[in-house]
Chain A
Amino acid sequence: MFKFEHPYFLFSLFSIVILIILHLIRKKKIKIVYFSTIYFLKKSHKKISRKLKIKQFLLFLFRLIILTALIFLISKTFWIKTGDVITNIADKSSYIVLDNRYTMLRKNSDTTDFEIAKEKIIKFFQNNPNKNYFFYKDELHLITSKEQLESFLDKTDIQYPPYLGNYFNFTKNISKYPKMDGVFVTNIVSETPPENIKLHLIAHKETKNAYLMNLYIKQIDSQIYQVETDVNSEGNSFDTTISLIKDNKKVANKILNLTPNQKQRVTFRFKGDSGKYELQLGDDDLLEDNRMLFSLEKNSLLKIVIINGGMNPIPYLDESFYLMNAIDSSPFRHYWSVTVKNEIEKDIYNSYDLFIFIDSSFPTIYQKELENIISMKKPIFISVGNSTDIEQFNQFWSPYIQWRNLKDENSKNSFKYISMISSEHPIVQKIPFIKSELIEYPIFKYLNFTTEQNITPIISMNDGTPLFVEKIVNGSKWLIFSSTLSRAWGDFPLSTHFAPLIQESILYLLSDKLKKREPYFYTYGEIHKLFPDKILKPDWYKLPNNKNGAYNTQYLFSQFLGKDRKIENSTENTQFLEGEERVYLKNWLILLLFLVLFLEHVVDLKRYFRN
């Protein structure tokens, strides 16, 4: 029985009725000629009147056939061929393709579609012995024996992604074998296959299929994460849901309206607590293609924030330039990330492990934030800056640190330089100081600490003035550098000693944290800028110093895919068929059309060639 892909075009068949009516009432305009005598016309007409009637009838019939064939062609007429479809392949070389998508693991009784498909392929091979067969796995393999075929089938397993990829993409890949027939053994099809592919459906049903492709995880700020995925739909239009599941508990849900062959990006934003996450599509056929798994580890990074007291918050400029280059060039740089802030935001103290204050004369309105940091016992690194206002500085840091005055040495002869280094402090123990070199990098501006403070000098200058000191405040370690970390107050940042000093200082301040960390979590050179929403990218990007930066969030989902998948039986009432194939009448209809057009012209040929 014929079926139609576009049955509504069949309404055009009414035009045939019109054609018949027109033919019967002969509304056709007939030319009238007044002739001298119709005696000879009548005589001639009488001789061929029977032939004329037949001709008229044939022409009418041909036009009916042409019109009907056209309507059937537009309606895409086909018929369903059932039975062992794949045995009807043309007598030439064929390649066999076994669908190894997860959907093939759907069970019918105790047997999966995948197992059924393998049996079918062997049966097909045995039933059609006089052909050349190729088995498609990544490329075509010539099959010469049943044993060889079984061996290939044994090696073929369900995998993600399947080596076929998407069925439709696969058909593009095999376009290099256009002259061969393909036997595609699958259990679900949502699109008409190319003409040189014979489908062997071992299970067929109304297709409502969607699957997930790609997963992008972005960290919006210290706590908020964004996850994106692409929902690809096949088959009919339908509504479904996509859920964000954390530790088997649904935390967010979205309703999707899917139309055939559509790609739709879905975004979830969530507070990034550690745990195992899953994106899952619901209510469709292929549950196993519908899951995307990923994981987040809490505090997977050591985070350093650089708080710039000056008005310029841009990293790698002014006071932060030498500091950040020192951090970047650290052999341990993968341990941390750096954020530059010109003000301390509320609610984020807990996410940072180390606070570096540069150019540190802050207005007292931030006093409360400072106290919060101190109350959390976070380590702090402080350096003064060239715009430091001594009064404002003392006011802000009071009562933890106090400076007496600003020393400004303009005479070259009285330049200070580092000469006294504490041999016991762990920061300087690993740094091979070369005193002769240190003289070349004088410090000509610095602040004097007040004597009453309980400070431990690590580095002092040649006149004994402490330059770099440690102070324990509320049980946490503070390191204080009493000159600038830029060349504004001295040349020390140009020294080869500078970067190791900064790096060792940070290691020292974070040493307690580092002991707890696993080397598994790593990233490097990552910068949280001021407007992270606008600049975060999941891809690699260039740092201002032209080095490659990388994203700090782990794409752990890739490690979960294919491991933790659970294959569930389809609970829907699936109709299993032995084999089904759509046979389109397109070619036959076109042939018929041309044949009838040709015949029509042959019958009416005299009209064209009379003269």
Chain B
Amino acid sequence: MDYLKEIETILKRTSPHILSALSSQTDDFFGKQPSKKIGQGVEFNHYSQYTEGENVKNIDWKVFGRLEKLFIKKFERDSNERFLFLFDTSKSMLFKGNNSVYSKLEYSFISAGVLTYYLLQSQHPTAYQFSNYFTGYQGERKDFSFFIEQFEKQNIHSALNWSFQENIHKKGRKTVLIFSDFFDDIDFLVSKIKKLSEQHSFHFFHVLDSSEIDLAEKDLTKYIDLESGEEIITDPSEIYKIYKEEIETHIKQLKTSILSSGFHYHQFLTNHKIEENLTSLLK
């Protein structure tokens, strides 16, 4: 797949205004709220007079009390905040339902690619962690193509590589974005990273195909597990109701577990457009 082309297409579908909004929202979302404290990620730079349309949150009311004029506090981004993308490249991520354009893995890559583009525009050091490979942090705009190349180089391996913890401990605060279908033991995963949550920010991107929730088949079907190769012959018409209950319970538990640990949870359905998912996410 030509990921660069796919990502460019999605970038083109948004207007420049939305791009900048996305970019700033992306900042708001991924970064913490601006702070005056030095070393906390965002630093005060200068004042500028308020113009209509600007965020009223940033108005310095003390200055208004003195001068009776509205001034906006302008901050300089903390260029040290790092972003780590973590990808599940297990075989289950290769699943693609009949109504979907991309497999779950392709969907994850393209979504991450779009986000990476915006991050590099803001010159945030960004790194990718695959199951057997860590890219190292890159923060220049020119590095975008480097990241995209990594998608194409990836082979299918086993599940998530937990060695990323070592990479987190290095060099201060990080935002970690995990793309996976989370069919593994989620409690194990959460327990592993819970200690890190105070210092770092975690976002769980739950990538699912709608056919995994609503079985698309009607007649007797042989299902073969992509990972284990196990088989089962069953009648989807008969089991779909129970199956749906099971899978929805699983998703609910997963979400509860993630949120209760102070992490962020986002569900990405691959039959939805990527830009729609991203937009709704950023809101």
Contacts and interface: CB of A to CB of B under 8 A. Distances in A.
A25 interface: no
Interface in B13-56: none
A51 interface: yes
A32 B221 contact: yes
A41 B220 CA distance: 13
A35 B226 contact: yes
Contacts of A44: 234, 239, 242-243, 246
A114 B250 CA distance: 87
**Interface of chain B: mostly helix, strand, loop or mixed:** mixed
Given A31-B222, A35-B225, A38-B232, A606 B242 contact: no
A36 B181 contact: yes
Contact of A48 (B223, B227, B239): B239
Interface string A29-45: 01111111111111111
Given A28-B220, A38-B230, A42-B232, A52 B95 contact: no
A43 B95 contact: no
A33 B222 contact: yes
B92 interface: yes
A303 to B, nearest CB: 92
B81 interface: no
Contacts of A45: 232, 234, 239
A34 B227 CA distance: 10
A607 B239 CA distance: 11
B221 A31 contact: yes
Contact of A38 (B219, B225, B235): B225
A43 B231 CA distance: 13
A604 B235 CA distance: 11
B217 A33 contact: yes
Given A33-B217, A34-B226, A41 B237 contact: no
A31 B218 CA distance: 10
A40 to B, nearest CB: 5
Contacts, number: 94
Given A31-B219, A31-B220, A33-B217, A51 B225 contact: no
Nearest to B184: A37
Given A55-B238, A610-B240, A41 B250 contact: no
B124 interface: no
B101 interface: no
Given A35-B95, A39-B183, A30 B225 contact: no
Given A30-B233, A48-B239, A610-B237, A37 B218 contact: no
A45 B104 CA distance: 25
Contact of B242 (A31, A36, A47, A55): A47
A31 B217 CA distance: 9
Contacts of B209: 36
B238 A37 contact: no
Interface string B154-195: 000000000000000000000000000101000000000000
Interface in B223-277: 223-228, 230-235, 237-240, 242-243, 246-247, 250
Interface string A299-333: 00000000000000000000000000000000000
Contacts of A35: 95, 212, 223-226
A365 to B, nearest CB: 101
A252 to B, nearest CB: 75
Interface size class of B (residues with CB under 8 A): 35 or more
Interface in A249-268: none
Nearest to A607: B237
A255 B145 CA distance: 105
* Residue in A37, A51, A55 whose Cβ sees the most chain B Cβ within 10 Å: A37
Contacts of A28: 220
A31 B243 CA distance: 18
A607 to B, nearest CB: 4
A610 B224 CA distance: 23
Interface in A42-73: 42-45, 47-48, 51-52, 55
A52 B183 contact: no
Interface string B55-98: 00000000000000000000000000000000000001101000
A39 B182 CA distance: 13
A604 B183 CA distance: 32
Nearest to A611: B214
B146 to A, nearest CB: 30
B243 A41 contact: yes
B234 A606 contact: no
B246 A36 contact: no
B212 A36 contact: yes
10 contacts: A31-B217, A36-B227, A38-B228, A43-B246, A44-B242, A47-B242, A48-B239, A52-B238, A606-B238, A607-B219
Kindly list the 4 A-B residue pairs having the minimum CB-CB distance in the complex, ordered from nearest. Answer: A36-B95, A36-B92, A44-B243, A44-B242
Given A34-B224, A38-B223, A52-B234, 13 more contacts: A30-B220, A32-B224, A33-B217, A33-B221, A33-B222, A35-B95, A36-B181, A37-B92, A37-B227, A38-B224, A44-B234, A45-B232, A52-B238
